[in-house]
Structure 1
C-alpha cells in the first residue's frame, strides 16, 4: 500500500510567522489569526507547520539519535581527541563552540514558537467558533504535545531552560532567563491532562499513528511525569529529585493504567514491529502509538542510524550506523530472547550487497534497515529514506506502569502482569515457564529487585530506539551504568586474551562461513568454541579451503601492543573518568556561546562549562 504522508506536504507554510533566532520575532507584521484558524483545513495546515520542523537536521540526524549517545547501549564512535563535532557530545567533552548545540536549540524554540502561535489561534478563533469540534480539539492536543516534546528534549539536554507559552511579538522581552525544570514539567503535564479527554484515538484520525493522538498524549503525560518524579543533574553536578516526586509517579501510574483500560492491545511479533516501520506500514491499535512521519526523500532513519549498507551499483543507496551497540549489551541478552537478533545486527552489506562481519565495535541497531523499503531508494541515495521514527510504543506504557506501580506499591500482581506481557512477546511460548513466570517470580522478591528487572527490561526492549540516556538520568544510574559497561568491556578484553576469568567463556573470536550467495553463518554467536575450528588459509594461503574465517570479538577490547584496554573502551565515555560510577555524569550540555552572548546576560553557562 502506498504510504500516505501529511507532515511535509505544506512545509512552506507562509501563514505563520516563526522566529529566525532564539526567542525573536522575524517580522513586525503578524498573521491574521481569524483567517488562518477559521476552518478545519486551514487550522490543520498551520499545525502541520509545527510538525514540519521534525524534518530539519536538528531532529533527523541529531536530536532523534545522535544526541542520545553515549549510554550503556547506544555508543557513538569517538575520535582520539575532541574534534568539536557530535563525537564530543558522545564523549562528554562538548564545548560551547559546538555548532550542533545551536542547531538543535534554535530549531527547538522555533517549533515551540510555532506551537504557541497555533495554540493562540485555536483557542481564540477555532474553539471559540465551535468548542466541541473534535478536529479543533485534537489539533490543540497535537499542538500542546509538540510543544511538550520540544521542551522535554531541551530540558533533558540543557536542564533549566527559558520557558514561554505565548507566541513572540515585536516588543516582547526576548531575553528570558532559565525556568526550573520542575515548573516547566508541572505546567506541561497539566496542560496535556486538560486536553487529553477531548482528543481522538489514532484509529479515528485521517493519518493514524502519523499524527499525535490521544493514546500518545496519555503516554506523554506518563513520560513527563516520570521525568518530573525522577532525578536530574543540578549545576553543582549532583543528582537530586524533588520531595514531591511520588505525586508524579502517581500521575504516571494513573495515566498508563488509563490507556491499558481504555485502549488495550496485544503486542505483535517484535521483529514485525520494525519491519513495518521500514516497509512504511502503519498498523493501528498495535505497538507503535505515534511515529514521526517522513515523506520519501526526507528523514535520516536507515542512513545514519541502522544497518550499514555501502554504496554500489545496487539500487538501495548507502547508509551507516553512527551509534553502535557495545558487546556488553549484546551479551546481556538471554540467547533465546527474540529481541536480540532484531536489536543487534552483526553484519553489514558491502557495495555488492554481500554480507561482511561488522565487528565488535560496530554492532548495528538492526531495527532500521533501508533494504526493506517497498521500492529501492536508488543507487545514489543516502539520506532521505522516508522511514518513520517511532516516539512511543505500547510496551513503553506497560513498563512505565510496572515501574510506577512498583515505586508506589511494590511488585504487585498488576506490576508483574505488565512486565509479563512484555516478556511473553520476547520468548517462545514453550519457554514461558522459565523465562517469564520463574523470572518474574524471582524479580518480584522485593521492590529493588523488581526495579532492577525493569531497568534491564527497558534496555532489552528499547535498544537502538534512543531512550536509554533519558532513562538513566532520571533513575540516577547514568554513572553506574557507564562505569559498569566500560569496566566490563575492559575485563572482556583481558579475559578473552588470557582465556581466564569471568568472561573467558564468551567468544574471543567469532567464526563464520559465507554461502554461495554471500550470506554469513556464524559458528559461535554466544560462546567460545570448545575446540578451535579449522580456519581458512591457515597456516598458509590455500589451507583449509572449507574452513572458517574469524574476527576478533572480546579480544578486540584489548590492545596487545600496550597490554591494556583498546581504544573503544578507553575513548567511548572518555569525559567521564570515574571508573567506580559513583559520581554524576555531566550529561547536560553547554549553551552555545552565541546563545549566551545574544541573551544580554539573561543566560549563562553552568555545570562547569
Structure 2
C-alpha cells in the first residue's frame, strides 16, 4: 500500500476544499511523518486523534455554530429575521450557497479522516501489543467513538451522506455517493459495541473532556433511538423510521440499563451546580453527571455564554461580567410550562437580565414584550474568574459544552422501557422518578414525584407524553430538543403548540389567568445589584406593593409590542413546512460541484 504523509496541527484538506478534479475526498500533507513511523509512537498516535477533537472544538462547530443547525425547535430558536446565513439555517430556509454548510461538512469529514487513520493503523502498529497496548486501545476506542459522533452530526444536518470507514489512499475513488443512513447507523452502532472494552470509564481517565466508555454507551443508545425514530428520507422525501427500528429500541434500552447498573455515573444533587461547575472551568468528579464535554480555552475558543445564554451588556458591556448577546431565545410558554416548585425553572429561564442602559452590573427585569426569554443555563455572571475589566468585550468564554449528561441516560431508559413493554414498567417509573426527585425539594416528592408519575402512567401514550415534557424541562437550552422532536415526528406540532400557547399568554387567555401575572412587582436587592421578583407566576389583587416597582407583564403588552412579538414568532421556523417535514439542510454548492455529479440535494423537498 502506498504510504501517505500525515499533518499534525494543520487541517486535513478533505471534501471539496480545493476545486481540482479529484478533490472530493482528497487528503494531502507536507509533513515528514508517515503512518508507519507515526503509529510506532504513542505520542504521535495521540496527536492524530487529538486533531479530531480539535475540529469539534472549532467555533464553526461546537464552539458556537452548531447552535444554528440545532435550532429552531419549541425550546430554542432565533427570533431575528433571515440574515442570508446562520439565521436562514435556523429557520429551515437555507440555500446551497451558504458557506457554513461547506464548513461543517469539511470539519466533520476531516475528523472522520483522522479517526479512520487511527482505526486503520493502530491494530497493525508496534504499540498495539506490549507496554503501550492499553493506551493504543484507548486511542482506538476514542477514534471509533469520535467517528460515530461526527457521522451522527452529519446525518442530523444532511440526512444520507457519503460513508467511508477507511483512511483515504492515493488510489481511492474520491467521488463517493451517499449511503442510506440506516446502513450507516447499523455499522456504527455495531462498531461502537465492538470497541466498548477498549475505552476506560471516566473514573479511570479523570476527565470528561475525552470520550470514555460511559459516553460510548450513551452515544450508542442515542444513535439507536435516532435510527428507531422518524426522519425525512432522501429521494423519496417520506418521513419514516429505520428499517429495523424495533430492534434498536432494544439496543438503546440495554445500553442505558447497563450504564445505570454500572453505578459509574450519577446525578449531581444540585441541578444548578451542573452548570455552575462548567462555568468554573471544573468537572464534577464525584458524580460524573456530564459524561463528555467539548473542551474549550478561555479567551481562545467556545462562545458558550455569549451566543447562547442570559443577555449581558448588549448596550454597554458589564464591567464585571462582560458581554453576552444571547441570540438563542426561548418562549414565555416554556417558562410557564414548569411547575412553579420545579428548581430547574429558574436555572433554565430567568426573568432578569444584566446590562440595561445605566445599569451595566445590575439585575433588571426583562422586557414584558415576550421575546426576551432566553435559555439561562449559560450566563456570564457564573464564569469564574469573571470576564470583566479588559476582557469585557471578549466573545470566547472557554466554557465547555456538555454533549451528554447522565440524566439523558435515565430518561432514554424510561422511554425505551415504555416503548418495548407497551406501557411504563416499574423500572421506567423509577428512572423518571430519579430525575424528578432532583428537580423538587424532598418534602414535595409525595405530590410532585410519586403522585405525578402515577398520574401519567395510565397508558403507554400518557407516559410517552410525560417523557416528552420531562426532556423539555431537563434539557432546555442544551440544544437536544430538535433531534428529539425529529425522531418523535413531533417537530411541526410542537413548534406550532409553542407559538399558539405563547399567543394565548400574551392575549390573557383564561387558561393562564392563575399563572401569568398582569403586573410583576420587583425591587433591587439589598446589595444594590440583585433583583427580588415578588410574583413571577401569580397575580396580586392590587396595583401597588410598597417598596416594589410595578411593571406591565405579558398580558398587558401594548398593541405595537404584540405586533412585534407576532412578527418575531413568525420568523421562528419560517421556512419549515409541516407537510414536508423539511428538517434537513442543503449541501453547499461547492461540495456538490466538487463531487463531479455524484452528489445532489435529494434530501430537500
Compute the TM-score of the two structures, normalised by the length of structure 1: 0.89
Alignment of 1:58-457 (within 5 A): 58-79=60-81, 82-125=82-125, 128-130=128-130, 133-205=133-205, 207-235=206-234, 236-268=236-268, 269-284=270-285, 285-297=287-299, 298-310=301-313, 311-312=316-317, 314-350=319-355, 352-359=360-367, 360-377=370-387, 378-409=390-421, 410-457=423-470
Q: How much does 1:445 deviate? A: 0.9
Q: How much does 1:344 deviate? A: 0.6
Contact 1:312/1:379, CA 8 A, preserved across alignment: no
CA RMSD between the two structures:
2.5
Measure, in 2, the Cα distance between the counterparts of 1:501 and 1:322: 31
Measure, in 2, the Cα distance between the counterparts of 1:309 and 1:547: 23
Measure, in 2, the Cα distance between the counterparts of 1:172 and 1:164: 11
Decide whether aligned partners of structure 1 residues 324 and 417 sit closer, same or farther in structure 2, where only a CA change above 3 A counts.
Answer: same
Decide whether aligned partners of structure 1 residues 249 and 132 sit closer, same or farther in structure 2, where only a CA change above 3 A counts.
Answer: farther
Give 5+ residue unaligned stretches, structure 1.
1-10, 535-543
Contact 1:489/1:569, CA 8 A, preserved across alignment: no
Measure, in 1, the Cα distance between the counterparts of 2:564 and 2:345: 30
Measure, in 2, the Cα distance between the counterparts of 1:130 and 1:554: 71
Contact 1:126/1:136, CA 8 A, preserved across alignment: no
Q: Deviations over 1:343-397 (max 9, x none)?
A: 1122221163112223331222221122223323343442221111111111111
- Secondary structure at the aligned position of 1:209 is classed as coil
Contact 1:288/1:390, CA 8 A, preserved across alignment: yes
Q: Does 1:530 align with 2:541?
A: yes
Measure, in 2, the Cα distance between the counterparts of 1:509 and 1:567: 24
Measure, in 2, the Cα distance between the counterparts of 1:342 and 1:29: 48
Q: Does 1:597 align with 2:596?
A: no
Q: How much does 1:555 deviate? A: 4.7
- Secondary structure at the aligned position of 1:188 is classed as helix
Q: Does 1:476 align with 2:489?
A: yes
Decide whether aligned partners of structure 1 residues 133 and 334 sit closer, same or farther in structure 2, where only a CA change above 3 A counts.
Answer: same
Decide whether aligned partners of structure 1 residues 251 and 514 sit closer, same or farther in structure 2, where only a CA change above 3 A counts.
Answer: same
Q: Deviations over 1:220-263 (max 9, x none)?
A: 11011111111111244432113421100000011111111123
Decide whether aligned partners of structure 1 residues 357 and 313 sit closer, same or farther in structure 2, where only a CA change above 3 A counts.
Answer: closer
Q: Answer with 452-461 or 370-379: which moved more.
A: 370-379
Contact 2:128/2:136, CA 8 A, preserved across alignment: no
Contact 1:78/1:91, CA 8 A, preserved across alignment: no
Decide whether aligned partners of structure 1 residues 14 and 301 sit closer, same or farther in structure 2, where only a CA change above 3 A counts.
Answer: closer
Measure, in 2, the Cα distance between the counterparts of 1:16 and 1:103: 12
Q: How much does 1:584 deviate? A: 4.6
- Secondary structure at the aligned position of 1:133 is classed as helix
Measure, in 2, the Cα distance between the counterparts of 1:168 and 1:368: 40
- Secondary structure at the aligned position of 1:402 is classed as helix
Contact 2:39/2:127, CA 8 A, preserved across alignment: no
Contact 1:274/1:367, CA 8 A, preserved across alignment: yes
Q: Answer with 324-333 or 84-93: which moved more.
A: 84-93
Give 5+ residue unaligned stretches, structure 2.
1-5, 18-23
Q: How much does 1:275 deviate? A: 0.6
Instruction: Give the number of equivalent residue pairs.
Output: 577
Decide whether aligned partners of structure 1 residues 509 and 587 sit closer, same or farther in structure 2, where only a CA change above 3 A counts.
Answer: farther
Contact 2:521/2:549, CA 8 A, preserved across alignment: yes
Contact 1:314/1:379, CA 8 A, preserved across alignment: no
Decide whether aligned partners of structure 1 residues 503 and 17 sit closer, same or farther in structure 2, where only a CA change above 3 A counts.
Answer: closer
Contact 2:159/2:603, CA 8 A, preserved across alignment: no
Contact 1:66/1:322, CA 8 A, preserved across alignment: no
- Secondary structure at the aligned position of 2:364 is classed as strand
Decide whether aligned partners of structure 1 residues 339 and 198 sit closer, same or farther in structure 2, where only a CA change above 3 A counts.
Answer: same
Q: Does 1:25 align with 2:38?
A: no
Q: Deviations over 1:187-236 (max 9, x none)?
A: 1101110010231011111x511111111101111011111111111244
Contact 2:318/2:361, CA 8 A, preserved across alignment: no
Q: Answer with 506-515 or 15-24: which moved more.
A: 15-24
Contact 2:56/2:108, CA 8 A, preserved across alignment: no
Q: Does 1:13 align with 2:18?
A: no
Aligned to 1:588: 584
Measure, in 1, the Cα distance between the counterparts of 2:7 and 2:187: 31
Measure, in 1, the Cα distance between the counterparts of 2:564 and 2:492: 22
Q: Deviations over 1:74-100 (max 9, x none)?
A: 011221xx3312111222211112222
